[in-house]
Structure 1
Amino acid sequence: MFLCYYFSSLFYPVLLERKDRDGYMCTSKRFDKSYKIISNKEICAGYFELKIKVDAVSRYCYPGQFFMIDIPEVFLRRPISIHCIGKGTVSFLYSVVGRGTKILSEMGRSSGSVISRRGEGKDGCDEIKMLGPLGRGYGLTSNASSKFLSCVSFDSYEKKSCPKSRDISFNPVIVAGGTGIASVHFLATKLSRKGILCYGVHSKKDLLCLDKFKKMGWEIVISTEDGSKGYRGYITDVLSENLKAGDTLFACGPIPMLKKVLRIAREKNIKGFVCLEEKMACGIGNCQGCAVKINGENKLTCKDGPVFEIKDVEL
């Protein structure tokens, strides 16, 4: 385990964007360094949005990718999906579920005139060390980037550099469960067309990012297991009625939800992509600890994914 952590800190040199032997686009660059924390706000009970100043690194981030975040007093880094990209910034949306995320939630947060001492860096600002961006995102899977992303190249976020897709038949449907909304929000900001968001959580207090999707003009379907808002039950119970022939499906959430999403998509012959959530130790494929079955072969979620085509995933 120590070797996994050690080697993950070594493999951060520039990697030029290229295609691997399977024809998939690989990430263009990844970095292993410390960054300043801009803010770390609790947006609702138990959920936080962490915003980091990364400068040029933001130009190399694709929807679906993630960073391995180094948390003080915790041995292994934590993989967290990219939630939002700004000019020179990257944001993460996460929930406090254990000791690691509890410590993370305390970094960079003010308490009166006192700033958390954890990870304190230059100029009195908290810093955090991260490795990334990592993995294949939605724009890095085969035949994907030019088909549905409004930005074929992410080297600039200026509007003049982002040609819109001419595929007028593209109708996106996003399915998110719990904190899976964090990953697909970044995706939604870069899709060439607006569509339907199907979002399932346990209770209305767990609903996140709805205002952001509304501002972007997305139609929203909500389900809660306790019936406190929207449909009472699972989001997969109402997914079929919101899918039609020709839609492109994007899904991120817990494995039980994804299993049902895959079954429904195949029954209705719907194409699309899923972003898998797996525990990771290194994030770059050295430890082999996040293997999944893809098209009859063992693949690594961190390196070959986390985004895979629906037709290939076996759960």
Structure 2
Amino acid sequence: MCTSKRFDKSYKIISNKEICAGYFELKVKADTISKYCYPGQFFMIDILEVFLRRPISIHCVEKGTISFLYSVVGKGTKILSEMGRSSGRVISRRGEGKDGCDEIKMLGPLGRGYGLTSNASSKFLSRVSFDSYGKKSYQKSGDIDFNPVIVAGGTGIASVHFLATKLSRKGILYYGVRSKKDLLCLDKFEKMGWKIVVSTEDGSKGYKGYITDVLSENLKDVDTLFACGPVPMLKKVLQIAKEKNVKGFVCLEKKMACGIGNCQGCAVKINGENKLTCKDGPVFEIKDVEL
């Protein structure tokens, strides 16, 4: 069961900008709900002319706003990319807000994020600093043994960026994409002081090949690993982590119809049992995940 409050309502669109070819960042005004969001959680976003809502990870929460990073891959995300924009098709299921701003309906925040997993240790929680979550608060840790390593593939960078803003220590980001044109958010990680290692499959930027090849050569048993990306990448990450006895968490990307566990369509094998990515995850401990 998800442990945070969730809301099903419309939000004013502040901006919906194309940050590079085929990739957009949607920002909505969410003064009340933003304080209930945890890294790794997601929203089910309502899109006109599309029957099912689309699950999109929380990318950033700041000053009463929530941002989502997404790529245009089909009809739904194509329509989403046109919502709230000044030119072209102006669409919103709820019409326009009272002040003329377009609105978008969303359900969330949903799922268990980093630090909300059912068996996450208190030691891990003490190393994470969140703004607020109900009446709970976690102190920043100066533990020198905490060496965070983030591994991201493609738009998996979205949820781990939110995580990076809340971790009490800076670490290393390993980021793999197809080509340099698919690189996202590197400036944000640089401003936060993270070391960045990039790989591209075509060799147009950084190492040529897969980011997991670079990770395998550099991951140490004292690191704490956080990963999000496509399943083939995560399979390799899990293999490397288990071989090197590295603990951590992975955020799974699965197709979801409802986002709350009713449809049973996002099952995944966790510690020998069938669990639902949307309700029991999407974040799970590395040692428990079977892909």
Query: What TM-score comes out, normalization by structure 2 length?
Result: 0.94
What is the CA distance between 1:162 and its match in structure 2?
Answer: 6.6
CA distance in 2 between counterparts of 1:170 and 1:155 reads 26
Partner secondary structure for residue 68 of structure 1: strand
Aligned to 2:258: 282
Contact 1:147/1:167, CA 8 A, preserved across alignment: no
Q: Kindly indicate whether the alpha-carbon contact (under 8 Å) linking 2:269 and 2:290 is maintained by their aligned counterparts in 1.
A: yes
CA distance in 1, matches of 2:92, 2:36: 28
Q: Quick one: structure 1 residues 226 and 192, their matched pair in 2 at CA, closer, same or farther if it must change by over 3 Å?
A: same
- In structure 2, the residue matched to 1:82 is 58
Q: Percent identity?
A: 82
Supply the AA of the counterpart residue of 2:156.
G
Give the paired residue count.
285
- Which residue is 1:146 aligned to? 125
Gaps of 5+ in 2: none
CA-based RMSD of the aligned residues comes to: 1.6
Q: 1:96 aligns with which of 55, 65, 72?
A: 72
* SS in structure 2 at match of 1:72: coil
Match of residue 13 from structure 1: none
- Counterpart CA distance in 2 for 1:155 and 1:117 is 34
Matched-pair contact (CA < 8 Å) for 2:8–2:105:
yes
Q: Does the CA contact (< 8 Å) of 2:126 and 2:138 recur in 1?
A: no
C-alpha contact 1:146 1:165 (8 A) present in aligned 2: no
Check conservation: 2:266, 2:278, Cα contact below 8 A: yes
Q: Compute the displacement of 1:206 (Å).
A: 0.2
Q: CA deviation at 1:242?
A: 2.3
Maintained 8 Å contact 2:127/2:168: yes
Partner of 1:17: none
Q: Distance in 1 between matches of 2:139 and 2:240?
A: 33
Matches within 5 A, 1:261-280: 261-280=237-256
Unaligned runs of 5+ in 1: 1-19, 21-25
- 2:161 aligned counterpart, secondary structure: helix
What CA distance in whole angstroms lies between the structure 2 residues aligned with 1:45 and 1:238? Answer: 27
Paired with 1:286 and 1:169, the residues of 2 have a C-alpha distance of 41
Alignment of 1:98-113 (within 5 A): 98-111=74-87
* Residue of structure 1 equivalent to 2:108: 132
In 1: Cα distance, 2:56 partner to 2:235 partner: 22
- Name the TM-score, length of structure 1 as normaliser: 0.87
Report SS of the residue matched to 2:238.
Answer: helix
The equivalent of 1:121 in structure 2 is 96
State the partner residue of 2:49: 73
For 1:87 and 1:299, how far apart are their aligned partners in 2? Answer: 34
Q: Which moved more, 1:277-286 or 1:138-147?
A: 138-147
